[in-house]
Amino acid sequence: MYGRTNIKLFSEKDFFSFSREKEESIKQTIDRENDNYILNTNESDYIAHLLGVYQMNPVTLLTDQIYATEKEELISSDRFPNSFYVTTSKSYPRPVITFHIPYSGDRGFLKIRPSQYIMWSQSVPITENEILFSVIVFSDTAESVEREYQSFLNRIQQQIGYLQKDIDQFNQALEGKIQAVFQKRKEQILSRKNLVGSLSVPIRKSADTPKTFAVPVPKVRQKISAKPIVTENGYKPDPSIDMKVYNEILSVIHDVGVMFERMPSTYSGKGEEDLRDHILMNLEARFEGSATGETFNKRGKTDILLRHENSNVFIGECKFWKGKKGYLDTISQLLDYLTWRDSKAAVIMFVRTKSFSPVLDTVKKETADHPNFLDFVSETNESWINYRFHINGDKNREVKLAVMLYHIPA
């Protein structure tokens, strides 16, 4: 509980200095974490945690809850208007109206001067949840008391409004700043341990890829190396494909899926394996394998795999839509095949029902029911949705999962 204390409103520290102190505190917090924690923690979850700690919670006046109290107090003669006959150095009883202005949020902001401000401040007592503004009554009418109170309230609201703009700008930029500090620290650790570039899953685009469907042919031969992701034991790196490559893989899958939709008479009679093989053919034409043998291949009737040293760094699962249970079971089956941190995956659903919208609604509403679900990331379009999941038994081992649905009515 906070006691009653006196502060000088909006004048003890400027917002720029205050925000710089917050940013320095973020850096110190991340720097205090040991190397092992930085390398092994789930980055998204850790950043979300720091967001919760460092996001600014502005003061809001609860104007609909303001009330007033009245009592008689001894008032020093030097506070009386000249129209009163009083003796110097004496005190006289006068009624005092105290306005109790409830507020929510961090009361520390009542001390902060915003970047834009009015040339006004006033010393007032505050409690844990109220600002106290007192008016000495020197006349028999309420007008002067009301006028003084309204002037005070208007000024404090104006300062809070200016402060809100500063806080909004800070909060909007906060996630990016935390991420930059975290990644810089992580890169420094990896560099110091000589791990950067020690393990990669190179994938090169084929320069002579023929045009197949609407997928554009890459004009530049490009080699992509995996980023090292460090595990708990002895900083052994986990390989992962780069996000740029992952998105390009998904784009190829999407372009083929759209072609399925545009030519339903050609593809509506195909089975899961045939549709999977058609996607796989385009991926193989689109990307070259590396010297160590990483290339796209298949397993069973529905899987598309990209492997490194006998483990999967990308897996796509192609299935016909069979309702919510079948959809969630497909995700579970896919996650069973993944063991490395930062794995990339895709669930590709072929929808044969006449109505497509109810299926999309089910996916968007029910995906979070899966026990490994972490978070919604983005919606590339209405039938391509990106999520975060975790590997079975380890919430720190995150899987980026794209759910892609294509309407091929029977």
What pLDDT shows up at residue 165?
Answer: 96
Q: Would you say residue 393 has pLDDT above 60?
A: yes
181 & 203 share domain:
no
Residues 283-330: pLDDT tens digits?
877 765 543 334 455 455 557 887 666 666 788 899 999 999 999 999
The token pair that represents 12 in the structure block: 């003890």
Q: Would you say residue 91 has pLDDT above 50?
A: yes
What pLDDT shows up at residue 238?
Answer: 60
157 & 301 share domain:
no
Residues 3-28: pLDDT tens digits?
688 999 999 899 999 999 999 999 99
- What's the whole-model pTM score? 0.53
**Higher pLDDT among residues 166 and 52, named by residue:** 166
164 & 259 share domain:
no
What pLDDT shows up at residue 323?
Answer: 94
Nearest of 369, 387, 368 to residue 377 by alpha carbon: 387
232 & 373 share domain:
yes
Which residue shows structure tokens 């579970």? 332
What pLDDT shows up at residue 187?
Answer: 84
122 & 66 share domain:
yes
For residues 11 and 121, is the Cβ–Cβ distance under 8 A? yes
Whether 194 is covered by a domain: the verdict is: no
Nearest of 223, 283, 280 to residue 249 by alpha carbon: 283
The domain boundary residue, chosen from 169, 189, 209: 189
The token pair that represents 84 in the structure block: 């009163």
- 386 residue type, one letter: N
**Domains in the chain, number:** 2
SS3 of residue 149 by DSSP: helix
What pLDDT shows up at residue 342?
Answer: 59
What's the mean pLDDT when you consider all of the chain?
81
> What's the mean pLDDT in 44-65?
88
Write the CA distances from 135 to 61, 98, 132, 167, 244, integer angstroms. Answer: 19, 6, 10, 31, 65
182 & 203 share domain:
no
The domain boundary residue, chosen from 189, 207, 225: 189
160 & 213 share domain:
no
**Virtual CA dihedral for 273, 279, 282, 287, nearest 10 degrees?**
-100
The token pair that represents 325 in the structure block: 């249970």
Domain limits for position 358 = 199-407
> What's the mean pLDDT in 128-157?
89
Q: Which of 33-47, 232-246, 343-357, 389-403 has the largest mean confidence?
A: 343-357
